[in-house]
Structure 1
Amino acid sequence: MEFSDAIQLLLIGISQGCGYALIAIGFVFIYRATEIVNFAHGELMMLGAFMVLTFSEIWGLGFWLGSALGILSLGVFGYLLDAVVMRRLVGQAQATIFILTVAIAMMLRALAGMIWGWTPLSLSVPFSSDITFGGVVIGLDRIMIIVGTVVISLLLYAFFSLTRTGLAIQAASQNQLAAYYSRIPVKRLIAVVWAIGAMVAAVAGIMMAPVTQVDTGMSIFGIKALAGAVVGGFGSIPGAVLGCLIIGVAEPFLDFYFPAFKGTYAYIIMLAVLFIRPEGLISQTFQKKV
């Protein structure tokens, strides 16, 4: 492998890992607030991509307006998903919640197939050209994935660190009972967390759509993002980003040298890390307080 090829694979891997990280951030947000692992999160990303495709392509509203409407629609869907469905399962066994989220994932995938069909569709984006430097050719869409991940991460950090709502969500995620007695609207804030997680998943769908096309199978990225979150330390946002970047960078190189196991390396890396360090690379430990 030549040096330029290695750099190109590295950039592809970083962009891929950033795409996984956007999905994993939503996983971790919801888990931190509710202790629920939402196995339908990849389907929320898929649904977001289809909604943007509908607004921008089918309805002809253009990419930017279509993206804004698609993200907002996923936020509403995430809010209602908690308010109408998930909130009723508070106190139920984790197995019950696991089965429900898997069922929701299957229903969303089937619904998307019935509405938009099972054939991959293309989403036209204003950043589809290629950039060449030093013999390395990289798509502008992949650069936008990296930039978008950095921007979204900074915006979320500012929201949760500098706003009253963000601080209240942090308090509710650490001790819901104490937050309730402190007159924090816990139920509403948890629904807001679901909405934020769904909107971030929609952004991931928009970023990944030019690379993979829009179809029901793109929800598989949710499972790879979950693997990245486990590698980094489930419950830790920096850990989830780190784990997804490790998987994203490793996949192109491993696929190149060992193509026989292509598509499985995310899970192989996850199993290897679990054997060596079950708590993940960055374990999440904190004292519960309000």
Structure 2
Amino acid sequence: MAVVSERKLPFGKIEPNTSRYFYSCALGGIVACGPTHTAITPLDLVKCRRQVDPSIYSSNMSAWRSIFAKEGIRGVFFGWAPTFVGYSFQGAGKYGFYEYFKYLYGDQMFPSTNRTLVHLGASASAEFLADIALCPFEAIKVRMQTSLPPYAHTLREGWSKAVAKEGLGGLYKGLYPLWARQIPYTMTKFATFEETVSMIYRTLGRPKESFNGLQQTGVSFLGGYIAGIFCAIVSHPADVMVSKLNADRQAGESAMKAVSRIYGNIGFPGLWNGLTTRIIMLGTLTGFQWLIYDSFKVFLGLPTTGGH
């Protein structure tokens, strides 16, 4: 990309599809995911509580007013620490492994395969691994946010309490539902993004390389926001179930038995509690994640994602 090759790159030239390139993409995932997920903690807090108990607040605004009046700004951002740590780890795996698997599947193993299938396979493989790192922190976050009084007040307290009571395995009891939520979400996020970005450049009638870095990252934001809307719809029922499982799974109860019991209580309509909030949250979140991730790649002298 001419606009970045003409300036001095901060860490020298990074060759595509090398270990250094994949590590750089993983670092970009941390920068993109950790801060953005943390920034929307107030939305996530209210969403999780309303998923578990739809009657707890009449609206998002009333929820924030109530929480702020009782606990101040700290209460509004309650659960930020496990969110930041967990989604930083997840971001590293999601983006770093996606770039690796996209190269492995698309260029090495199945070079003649449809690119959308490559994007779907690469994103599913990446998320499978990324969720293993995310799961214990997600479990602590949900328990902290959905229990009143809180299960724990800090990440350290929550971790110690959970491990002492259930062992490390207790923090992974939501892994299958997390995979059920996150893998379709990420497949939708990456495949829709890649296709949307390509469509935008086709609509503009010029090749991607003819636009400068700022313009390309603007396309990344728009493509990411559109992808986020689809992600919210596809993954929302599983998201509700993850919140319910972490808040209401009984001792010794199997995952399938718990899912069956909870579904019996809330029914199909209950799986869609908080969808509007999640669409707003994920559209904004996904748009800014792609903006930050591709801006980081431009900073390093790498091409932005998609549009090839």
TM-score, length of structure 1 as denominator length: 0.33
- Bigger relative CO (Cα 8 Å, ≥ 6 apart): 1
Answer with 1 or 2: which has the greater Rg. Answer: 2
